[in-house]
Amino acid sequence: MMTGRLKNCLFVLPWLILLFFLLVGAIIYRREKVIASFATSLKGRTPNQIHNLDLAGKTLNGIIIKPGDIFSFNKAVGPWSREKGYRKAPVSYTGLMVPAWGGGVCQASTTLYNAVLLAGLEIIERGPHYWAPNYISPGRDAAVAYGELDLKFRNNFPQPIRIRARIIGDKFLVQILSRYRPPYQVEILSEEEEIKPAKYTLIGELGATPKPKSGYRVNIYRVFLKDGKEINREILSSDEYPPLPKILYNIP
């Protein structure tokens, strides 16, 4: 007959085997984790800009990028047209604010760009706005215009990455998730020179132009750190944003 000790061993053994495989699985197949995140403010944005930003975020949310693949914002999100539910909202075009379909989408590309920078992913293409936008520091923006300007980056990780994008309160948040754990930390550094706006006289209706705004010359660097020590540094961009002059009205 089977002894009580043997019965206990036979009862416990399957559970020990199961626990062993669970531990091995947890080591080999790591859980997906947020490796980088970035948020921009919605304060001062118009309802239509927020609507368009929300649509772009919902399109981005859940996108998976395999190792070695290149992501294109325009290909993934665009075109931002009326047929896709986008509305007309203010867009900065060569310095002038004009209503256009999908105004506000650039905030989605900009927020994604900064999350990608902090993740340490390889930037393939990125362009600045004509003027520095208010929702991000100069040099940290990523303008998009369907068929003209794009944001592209490569997944240089050995594991897939997933984009999570959504509005939370008065913020637009983008996170990069992966089972891969980068062996470094990332810092973004800026060298910035302010360009003061000039003054000139314009005869016209009061309130016809926006408020004056400084311009900037800015260099952006990405620094990779390991155990608190710098292991690599790269210059990401050198941009110049012209100032918006102060208007002195000559009203008779």
pTM value is 0.83
What confidence tens digit (pLDDT) does each residue in 223-249 have?
A: 999 999 999 999 999 999 998 776 655
Query: Taking residues 179-195, what's their average pLDDT?
Result: 96
Domains in the chain: boundaries: 31-249
pLDDT above 50: residue 173: yes
Percent of the chain with pLDDT over 90: 68
pLDDT at position 214: 86
In this predicted structure, which of 38-47, 89-98, 122-131, 200-209 has the lowest mean pLDDT? 200-209
Two structure tokens written together for 236: 């990401």
pLDDT at position 44: 92
How far is it, in rounded angstroms, from Cα 68 to Cα 207?
A: 51
pLDDT range class, residue 81, cuts 50, 70, 90 = very high
- φ, ψ of residue 186 to 5 degrees: the values are -125, 135
pLDDT at position 207: 46
pLDDT above 90: residue 2: no
Query: Taking residues 44-73, what's their average pLDDT?
Result: 97
What confidence tens digit (pLDDT) does each residue in 98-114 have?
A: 888 999 999 999 999 99
Note if the bond before 79 is cis, omega within 30 degrees: yes
What confidence tens digit (pLDDT) does each residue in 113-142 have?
A: 999 999 999 999 999 998 889 899 999 999
Which of 24, 46, 226 minimizes the C-alpha distance to 54? 46
Which residues, at least 6 apart from 145, have a Cβ–Cβ distance to it below 8 Å?
A: none
What confidence tens digit (pLDDT) does each residue in 83-92 have?
A: 999 999 988 7
pLDDT at position 232: 97
pLDDT at position 212: 76
Q: What angle is formed at CA 169 by the lines to CA 81 and CA 178, rounded to 5 degrees? A: 75
